[in-house]
Structure 1
Amino acid sequence: MSIAILLACVGLLGSVDANDHAILQRYCMECHSGSDPEGGFHLKMLGDSVNEESREYWQASLEYVSLGDMPPNDDSSVTPSERERIARYLRRVIIAAGEKKAAVSSVPTRRLNNREFANSISDALGIEDPGTHFPLGDLLGDTLHEGFDTNGDALGISEYHLEKYIAAVRNVVDAVIWTGEKPESERYEVPSEMLKMTSLSQQTRRRESAVRHPDSVDFRDMRVRMYFDNFDSVPETGYYNIQIRATGIDRGYYDAEMTGVHDGDPIRLAVHLGDRERVFDLPDDDMKEIELTEWLAKGTRIELSYPTDGLRKRGNGNFKFQQAIAHDHIKQHDPELYEEVVAQIRKKGGRRKLGVNHWSHWVDYWRGPRPRVYGAVVEGPFYNSWPPQRQVNLIGASPDVQDAEKVLKRIAERAWKREVRDGELDPFVRLVEQRKAELGNIEALKEGIVAIFVSPSFLLIDPEEGTPADRFATKLSYFFRSTLPEVVLRQQVAAGELNDFESVRDAVELYIRDAKADEFLDEFPHAWLQLDRINFMAPDPDHYPHYHRKSVSDDMVAEAKAFFRYAVENNLPVPEMLTSDYSFINADLAKVYGIDDVPDDSTLRRYQFTDGRRGGLLGMGAFLTLTADTLGTSPIHRAVYVLENYMGIKPSPPPGDVEIQEPDVRQAKTIKDILAAHIAEDTCASCHRSIDPYGYAFENFDPVGAWRDNYVQLTVDTPSQAAKKTKKRKQARFELPIDASSTFRNGNSYHDIAEFRTLMQSDANQIQFVRCFVKKLLMYANGTEPDDIAEIERILAKSAEHDFRVVDTIAAVVDSPLFRQQ
């Protein structure tokens, strides 16, 4: 599309005739008037102009008219040009109202969410993370609002919150600043006999989840961790050198289909340092010396684990049933050993009733791909200087309470995201001075530092605090990095270097290019697409074992994030995200999607689909799974998701007494048949005619997003008297072809998902998707739903000038008064 056409589509070209309001009444009054208006919407709700009470109705009217749903094609003789005039009129009224409205901050003050808190306190103290001793473990979890953890209404603060924050901050600060003599360094040798495994059971006599050799220990269960029996936890805070000798063994001993481990995936070893994790690829059958140097807090426990994309389950059982692979393999490939083991099993007796093929008899013979660990060495603590440099950076080499204001000011200006006002630190200084006699210089200063981090200026993002430059720098940094603004950014904003669209766009590009936007690239799509819901009603494990055995939901979430990152890093047009013919998949996703020409590993790679069914957000397993139920699919659930998350339209909720039944294929009824009866009710028909066409197109995708041509149901009949003795029941299979067709209210129809995807590429749908994207960005940035629809239209126009490219659209949002002034 040309720029002129795009601008016309968003309603910023052309004029509006004085008769347009009459046209609105002419084509809408018949259905939306009287005591029982269709959809519960009366035209009088619009009034003569946009105000606080009517804004929602004007916006909804604009969206439905722009998409062609209103006036409906089958109930009206309205022409496309007349519908365009109605949409243009609605948009002009909205924009005119926005120009008259004074800019008023409507963004609520909110506290930092937990990830922002962790990032911010780490940056303020100049450390890599809050610590390896789980210092934030007792913080209350964040409440999500439509997937977002930045919502102001959900991020309030109470006295109980404050108590937890005080304890958490003390835990963090105590691992950065301390008194006493310099601890002596020690060397701890950890031979193989000191490598122990944690247990998943309370049974003390349960068999250890490891295979022991004279010089090494093998992982046998990916769910457990290995620890050092002679090094229970870190004795003193400081740097530690850790050396671990390990290798990967038995790759390919069993077929990959049995273990779930792809031939192309490396065997890995994860080193857990409290809540910090480092992962290493191990060479096959070749010793690797893993070496790392880490600052560890006192009390940190060092553990090892086997992170793998396979080995979750065998069939629909637990991991322990993987051990039965040994039985199957030995029986087929080593009959002599098999008979020997069977003889031992029968000789022992006791558990013979379990059968010789029971997993418990073959644990010691299991040879799946796994890490083998030979031992470790831990040495520390040691320090590059004394006192440690991180402590010196905060309070100096020889701190004294008389310097409290100077020490606290440096920390406060960083933590509070602004300059400290004269006299503002007086209460903090008095606190330090009062505690000196009891605690001494360093501990007293720590009390002042703790107070800084539990003050409102740190815990809250307040749209009223600081200068406009301070607020903009803070918002920009938390938007992309979820942490405090860097000093350089604050200086740039204060100097007016980010006062126009071009400079903002350059800054956005720099964030992305320098990997400073990684938090945004990970968290925003997670929130926007509500990926936290993916296993809220997980597919039934009996019917979909692959989904659970391989934790395919993790791959689906990763696919969505990889796709979004690719779109941003390549500055693609925003509409391409919705209907593109490619995505990022690996071997496990390929199995779900019915693809057989991808490498046999877990790496996500760009894949071009050629069947017209998949690609982009509309074809992703994450969307298809989180909108399905355990055993079935609902076109309503999927339609509502598409409307809310891709179109930015919130359908009216159904009446409380409505009950939707599941399809019964035995009576030759599909979900469409049942819903047809449901929407025959006048109270339901109007809304469903606008909602349902957005969902039927996906009926060929089952609860895990795999393609199906028919509804299938297995039923079990009551056994006859003769069959009761054998407990056998007759099983029947019913199939009905799926009808994935529908017609929109604007008259456009489709027969399948491919045609639906083509319809979604229309100018109106693409622009609506960009409008939705803009709203979601503003929700993430401001912590509240945007209500200035006139400014949203101006952002959309700016995006249109740049072909709706994603980086330019993000820059238009950041440069908008909705971002700058709120």
Structure 2
Amino acid sequence: AFRGVVPDGDYIDRLMTLYDVRLKAGDKPAAALKETLSVVLASPMFLYLAEPSADEKRRPLTDAELATRLSYFLWSAPPDATLRDLAASGELKKPEVLAAQTERLLDDPRSSGFLEAFVHQWLGLDRIDFFEVNRALYPRFDSGTKVAAKGEIYETFAYLLRHNASLRDLLKSDYVVINRVLAHYYGISGVKGDGYEKVSLPKDSPRGGLLGMAGILFMGGNGERTSPVERGAWVLRKLLHDPPPPAPANVPAITRLSGQVLTTRERLLAHQEEPQCASCHRKIDPIGFGLENFDAAGQWRTEDSYTAIDANGKPDPKSMKTWTIDPSAAFHKGPAFNDYFALRDIIASGADDFARSFSEALVEFALGRPLGFRDEPLVTDMIGQAGKKDLAIHEFIHGLVSSEEFRTK
């Protein structure tokens, strides 16, 4: 239960005392044992992957510890017999053996344990479940579509992992990995099954890559309206490795705009006139403007509209305003773009920044701690190794597993 860590005698004595107490209380042996084992299963040593060490200085992992760290990293599960045998024989530490075992674990279906947990943490997918879409506004985005849209994110990464494809495909690609439900939602024909499959896209499709996924786009809103700020900040954090600072506290409302029906762009540009807002919004908003052709449910559109709410909390039809979406903008102190496709091309050209963001997230996930200053050389080495093979996904993982940081504690 404690993964090879032998508990001290005092702990065993307390368990035996509990067992005896339950017997004296009238429990049958099986019931007393069940109560005792429940204490073991509630112990932090069972619930958490502990790596206790009496040494103050870093030291190499033992073979058994290395097998455990590798297995929990790539399977989220204990080592199997093959890993345990290699650890017992002292072979696992050999670079060629460790590399072969890393590849074996990645090719095993149990790598889904790594895939799901890592992608969720890296891309911040918990926001998908924070709110529901307004079905009156977006009737096609039902619960089945939401599940399918979330699944597309995981299944696309799974495809990259299975085929050791390039990380670049998450920025821009000529294919999607979708099922029948999402194909219907995207207007793509020829997909009939409930399982996810790779489907080629026409050249003019806005899909392909994270920016064209309904699940990602859905997170950049509130279920009713899009939020260029949420979308722009997410792109800066996850794709461009340039996270904006936290919003300042107690930002006052722009009262001069009250009662006015403005376009999304007009409302956000007004924020840039406020000194405490301008520095961040000048970086964030242009990216969000470039994604405005996608509505709050991730569907392509060319127009948007807004209706004010009256004193009774009902839409006021007299105040409705409709406008043609203008996705053109310019990065703060950077290139301009005319539409979403040009924005996507600019982001895709910064694959090295994306690789750094990905590598840092991978290090944090594998080592179970925040990234530190001392990890920067490791991240640089991982990017360099993967860069020699067009940013192939497996190369990032091999670079991490073979590193001193992964093999010591």
Shorter chain as normaliser: what TM range?
Answer: 0.7 to 0.9
Distance 1:621 1:542, change over 3 A: same
| 1:346-745 correspondence runs (5 A) | 415-418=1-4, 420=6, 427=13, 430-431=16-17, 434=20, 438=24, 446=34, 449-465=37-53, 468-499=62-93, 502-548=96-142, 550-593=143-186, 595-600=187-192, 602-610=194-202, 611-658=204-251, 669-713=262-306, 734-745=321-332
Counterpart-to-counterpart distance in 1, 2:197 and 2:254:
40
Cα deviation, residue 434, structure 1: 4.2
Instruction: Give the structure with higher Rg (CA).
Output: 1
Q: Report the Cα offset of residue 458 of structure 1.
A: 2.1
Assess, with a 3 A threshold, how the Cα gap between structure 1 residues 680 and 461 changes in structure 2: closer, same or farther: same
In structure 2, do the counterparts of structure 1 residues 717 and 429 end up closer, same or farther at CA, with 3 Å as the change threshold? Answer: closer
Instruction: Find the aligned partners of 2:115 and 2:217 in 1 and give their Cα distance.
Output: 22
Q: Quick one: which amino acid aligns to residue 126 of structure 2?
A: D
Q: Which residue is 1:766 aligned to? A: 351
For residues 662-699 of structure 1, what are the alpha-carbon distances to aligned partners after superposition, in whole Å with 9 as ceiling and x for unaligned? 9x9x9673222222222133333333333233322111
Taking structure 1 as the reference length, the TM-score comes to 0.44
Corresponding residue pairs, total = 392
Alpha-carbon separation, structure 1, partners of 2:230 and 2:22: 62
Give the Å deviation of 1:431.
3.6
Aligned to 2:58: none
Aligned to 1:348: none
Gaps of 5+ in 2: 55-60
1:750 and 2:348 correspond: no
Aligned pair in 2 of structure 1 residues 605, 491: CA closer, same or farther (>3 Å)?
Answer: closer
Contact persistence 2:201–2:208 (CA under 8 A): yes
- CA separation of 1:696/1:686 partners in 2, compared to 1, >3 Å: closer, same or farther? same
Change (3 A) 1:655 1:437: closer
Deviations 1:118-142 (A, max 9, x none): xxxxxxxxxxxxxxxxxxxxxxxxx
Paired residue for 1:270?
Answer: none
Amino acid corresponding to residue 50 of structure 2 in structure 1: D
Contact 1:505–1:807 (8 Å) recurs in 2: no
Instruction: Give the letter for the 2:336 counterpart.
Output: S
Change beyond 3 A, Cα 1:689–1:437? closer
Q: Per the alignment, do residues 497 and 598 of structure 1 end up closer, same or farther by CA in structure 2, a change over 3 Å counting?
A: same
3-state DSSP class of the match of 1:624? helix
Give 1:806 shift: 0.5
Match of 2:393 in 1: 806
**8 Å Cα contact 1:648/1:775 also seen in 2:** no
Identity of aligned residues (%): 30
C-alpha separation in 2, matches of 1:538 and 1:440: 50
Amino acid of the structure 2 residue aligned with 1:675: L
> Against the structure 1 CA distance between its residues 553 and 429, is the aligned structure 2 distance closer, same or farther, given a 3 Å change threshold?
closer
**In structure 1, the residue corresponding to 2:321 is in which secondary structure?**
strand
One-letter amino acid of the structure 2 residue matched with residue 713 of structure 1: Y
Instruction: Tell me what 1:203 maps to.
Output: none
Partner deviation per Cα, 1:721-747 (whole Å, 9 max, x = no partner): xxxxxxxx9667532111111212343
Structure 2: distance between partners of 1:647 and 1:572: 20
Partner of 1:29: none
1:100-249 equivalences under 5 Å are none
Report Cα offsets for 1:501-528 as digits up to 9, x if no partner: 5433322321232312121222222232
Matching residue's letter, 1:582: Y
Shift of 1:708: 0.9
Question: Does the 8 A contact of 1:501 with 1:812 survive in 2?
Answer: no
1:797 aligns with 2:384: yes
What does the per-residue CA deviation read over 1:331-378, in whole Å, with 9 as the maximum and x for residues that have no partner? Answer: xxxxxxxxxxxxxxxxxxxxxxxxxxxxxxxxxxxxxxxxxxxxxxxx
Secondary structure at 2:348 match in 1: coil
Distance in 2 (CA, whole Å) between partners of 1:456 and 1:761 is 44
Whole-angstrom distance in 2 between the partners of 1:520 and 1:503: 21
Amino acid corresponding to residue 651 of structure 1 in structure 2: P
Read off the aligned partner of 1:461 and give its amino acid letter. Answer: L
Distance 1:554 1:711 in 2: 26
Which structure has more helix as a fraction of its residues? 2
2:57 corresponds in structure 1 to none
* Equivalent pair of 1:716/1:731 in contact (CA under 8 Å): no
Aligned residue for 1:528, secondary structure, equals helix
SS in 1 for 2:281: helix
Q: Indicate if the aligned counterparts of 1:555 and 1:589 stay in contact, CA closer than 8 A.
A: yes
Structure 1 residue matching 2:110: 3-state secondary structure: coil
State the one-letter code of the partner of 2:171: L
Asked if structure 1 preserves the Cα contact closer than 8 Å seen for 2:70 and 2:102, the reply is no
1:59-105 Cα shifts (integer Å, max 9, x gaps): xxxxxxxxxxxxxxxxxxxxxxxxxxxxxxxxxxxxxxxxxxxxxxx
For the residue of structure 1 that corresponds to 2:109, the secondary structure is coil
- In 2, Cα distance between the equivalents of 1:522 and 1:807? 16
Do the aligned residues in 1 keep the contact of 2:138 with 2:297 (CA within 8 Å)?
yes
Equivalent position of 1:65 in the other structure = none
Distance change (3 Å), C-alpha of 1:653 and 1:715: closer
Q: Distance in 2 between matches of 1:731 and 1:437?
A: 77
Q: Secondary structure at the match of 2:137?
A: coil
Aligned residues of 2:207 and 2:213 also touching (Cα < 8 A):
yes
d(CA) in 1 for partners of 2:281, 2:104: 45
Corresponding letter in the other structure for 1:522: E
Give the secondary structure class of the aligned counterpart of 2:230: helix
CA distance in 1, matches of 2:125, 2:117: 10
Q: Deviations over 1:613-649 (max 9, x none)?
A: 2211111001100111232112111011112222344
CA contact (8 A) 1:521 1:565 kept: yes
Q: Contact between 1:504 and 1:811, CA under 8 Å: does it hold in 2?
A: no
Q: After the TM superposition, which of the residue ranges 495-504 and 791-800 deviates more from structure 2?
A: 495-504
Alpha-carbon offset, residue 603 of structure 1: 3.8
Q: Cα 1:444–1:707, aligned 2, differ >3 Å: closer, same or farther?
A: closer
Query: Once superposed, what is the RMSD of the aligned Cα atoms?
Result: 3.2
Specify the alignment match of 2:364 in structure 1. 779
Which of 448-457 and 475-484 deviates more?
448-457
Cα distance in 2 for residues equivalent to 1:576 and 1:504: 27
Q: Does structure 2 retain, via aligned residues, the 8 Å contact 1:572–1:806?
A: yes
1:717 and 1:580 mapped to 2: Cα distance? 45
Pair 538,427 (structure 1): closer, same or farther in 2 beyond 3 Å: same
Change (3 A) 1:495 1:601: closer
For residues 713 and 436 of structure 1, the distance between their equivalents in structure 2, rounded to whole angstroms, comes to 67
Contact 2:67–2:87 (CA<8 Å) still a contact in 1? Answer: yes
Contact 2:217–2:294 under 8 Å retained in 1:
yes
- Can you list the C-alpha shifts for 1:179-238, whole angstroms capped at 9, x where unaligned? xxxxxxxxxxxxxxxxxxxxxxxxxxxxxxxxxxxxxxxxxxxxxxxxxxxxxxxxxxxx
